[in-house]
Structure 1
Amino acid sequence: MVLEFRKVNPETDFPALARCFFESYEDPPQKFFHAWFPIHGDGTEAREAAIAEAATRLRTWQAQDPTMHWHQVIDTDTGRVAGGALWNVHTENPFASEEHMEASWFPDDGSRRYVEQVLEQHGAPRARVGQRPQVYLFIIFTHADYRRKGVAQQFMNWGIAKADELGVEMFLDSTEIGRPFYEANGFIYVEKNVIRPQTDTPDEAWKETVKKAGDHSDWWLMWRPVGGKYEEGTPKPWEKS
């Protein structure tokens, strides 16, 4: 088996990549995935529609945002996608201007209000400490059939090489299970981020989204300093006066 690292071709690759994306987060199931890539309805038809919508949205995001760099790993024996990753390469402060992402992949009701709080809370810690050029790991996944075969490390190697080439820091938001992998690659824990949307007037759409996405999710903001070297006790860039 040869697992080959490739740049994603936005004209052809997103349908298969999106399918691998869903299958990876379905095994084991991870509720938070529903906030970003929901399945509206039940059954095979609804799931297929969700995968198609995800492929279209990922391609649109790529076309609209020059900081995005998608890569995939392909099993050359079968042509299957083994995993994918999206890095944002920011040569300037990504938070220089305030932007609000509208969760247009949900109807304009309580479900969208819920998810927009998720998006805002998810990005808040990095917006506070990461006001500098950086390389950010937005998405990474490996299909269950290809785990523990070095797929994620291929993606990480690309991101680290790019950050070191540019002489910039790196950030990512990790689940608890991912922390050991990132720490092994020189990332340092910054803070825990508990995402918990709130409203005093939840409609049925809000309540249904809570059932599917969970009433909270836990993330760990992680940071890799320029060059990957950090001396314990040294003030971090956001701690300097």
Structure 2
Amino acid sequence: MPLVLSVVKDEADFTNIAAMDYDGWQTPYNPQLKHFRPDFPNRADAIAWRAARSATAFQTHDPSKKWWLKVVDTDALDSPYGGVVGTAVWELNEMKQEEGEEGGEGAVKKTQAVWHLEGSVERAFAERFIDGLWGFLGSRVTRPHMDLLSIVVIQSHRNRGAGRQLVRWGIEKADELGLETVVSSLPSARGAYEKCGLGCIELIPPDVDVEDPSPRWKELQSEDLTGWLMWRPIGRDFVVGVDKAPWLE
């Protein structure tokens, strides 16, 4: 079953991509994801929101600075996802102090988590968490770089190379553009990124401590929201014990 990677050229693809994305994130559970997306009562609404959001961003994106990728199993085109088994979004982050689709390093605007109910604990928590994450990254990553905004592979096709294809595409684009590569990784994905040539630089701690937290805040805070800041130099893979990220020099 050959896996074929391509850059998304048609916004109609986001229907299949969104469905695969939703199902792919069910296993393993991603505790960070719900802070970036609405909490829908059913799968169909969640997929429709994701597809519409991606299509809207796609309509106005600069194809020389942002890329949606998909990996298709050509022997499974009649699957529920039209053969799509993996997807990723890469962006050339020029450090112009602007927010990306779901935030971005160097962002100075405060997050407005409008996907959560105004005045809710969920909204306040999401804004605190996201601002802390971008603030942490922005204080370290201060040079233009290739930024992996999202990546997911459906469970049935993991360990077949789809994820590696998606990551290596961005790395090769970074080398082509003469840029470093930066990834904010979930703890569970650290090893996969290291195998693709990125180095694990630093633990990203969640900044969600507040005075007198409510029971709901404590519930959200109890999940593991840590991450790893991964980095790769220009033109070659990271070498443990030799390479050091520029902000550490």
TM-score of the aligned structures, taking structure 1 as reference length = 0.85
Who is 1:159 aligned against?
170
Structure (1/2) with the larger helix percentage: 1
Equivalent-residue separation in structure 2 for 1:210 and 1:48 (angstroms) = 30
Counterpart of 1:223, as a letter, is W
Equivalent-residue separation in structure 1 for 2:152 and 2:220 (angstroms) = 20
8 A Cα contact 2:185 2:230, kept in partner: yes
Q: Residue 88 of structure 1: SS of its match in structure 2?
A: strand
Who is 1:140 aligned against?
151
Q: Residue 235 and residue 22 in structure 1: after superposition, are their counterparts in 2 closer, same or farther (change >3 A)?
A: closer
Counterpart of 1:16, as a letter, is N
Cα distance, 1:125 vs structure 2: 2.7
Who is 1:220 aligned against?
228
Equivalent-residue separation in structure 1 for 2:192 and 2:139 (angstroms) = 24
Cα distance, 1:144 vs structure 2: 0.5
Counterpart of 2:48, as a letter, is A
Percent identical across equivalent pairs? 27
Equivalent-residue separation in structure 2 for 1:230 and 1:215 (angstroms) = 30
Counterpart of 2:69, as a letter, is H
Map 1:97-108; keep pairs closer than 5 Å: 98-108=108-118
Map 1:51-66; keep pairs closer than 5 Å: 51-66=47-62
Q: Residue 239 and residue 137 in structure 1: after superposition, are their counterparts in 2 closer, same or farther (change >3 A)?
A: same
Count of matched residue pairs: 232
Who is 2:66 aligned against?
68
Cα distance, 1:129 vs structure 2: 1.5
Write the deviation string for residues 15-67 of structure 1: whole angstroms up to 9, x where unpaired: 211111111110232222221234333xxxx2211111111122223344433
- Tell me whether 1:18 sits opposite 2:21 in the alignment: no
Who is 2:76 aligned against?
78
Equivalent-residue separation in structure 2 for 1:167 and 1:228 (angstroms) = 11
Cα distance, 1:230 vs structure 2: 5.5
Write the deviation string for residues 168-196 of structure 1: whole angstroms up to 9, x where unpaired: 11100112221112112221122101214
Who is 1:93 aligned against?
95
Q: 2:160 aligns with which of 149, 152, 158?
A: 149
8 A Cα contact 2:133 2:207, kept in partner: no
8 A Cα contact 1:31 1:214, kept in partner: no
Map 1:141-220; keep pairs closer than 5 Å: 141-200=152-211, 207=216, 211=219, 214-220=222-228
The unaligned stretches of length 5 or more in structure 1 are none
Cα distance, 1:10 vs structure 2: 4.6
Q: Residue 151 and residue 177 in structure 1: after superposition, are their counterparts in 2 closer, same or farther (change >3 A)?
A: same
Cα distance, 1:145 vs structure 2: 0.8
8 A Cα contact 2:92 2:146, kept in partner: yes
8 A Cα contact 1:193 1:221, kept in partner: yes
The unaligned stretches of length 5 or more in structure 2 are 78-82, 98-105
Equivalent-residue separation in structure 1 for 2:195 and 2:222 (angstroms) = 29
Equivalent-residue separation in structure 1 for 2:224 and 2:213 (angstroms) = 15
Who is 1:127 aligned against?
138
Cα distance, 1:164 vs structure 2: 0.5
8 A Cα contact 1:31 1:213, kept in partner: no
- Tell me whether 1:36 sits opposite 2:36 in the alignment: yes
Equivalent-residue separation in structure 1 for 2:6 and 2:172 (angstroms) = 15
Equivalent-residue separation in structure 2 for 1:156 and 1:189 (angstroms) = 15
Equivalent-residue separation in structure 2 for 1:189 and 1:100 (angstroms) = 28
Q: Residue 204 of structure 2: SS of its match in structure 1?
A: strand
Equivalent-residue separation in structure 1 for 2:109 and 2:168 (angstroms) = 30
RMSD: 2.5
Q: Residue 30 of structure 1: SS of its match in structure 2?
A: coil
Counterpart of 1:224, as a letter, is R
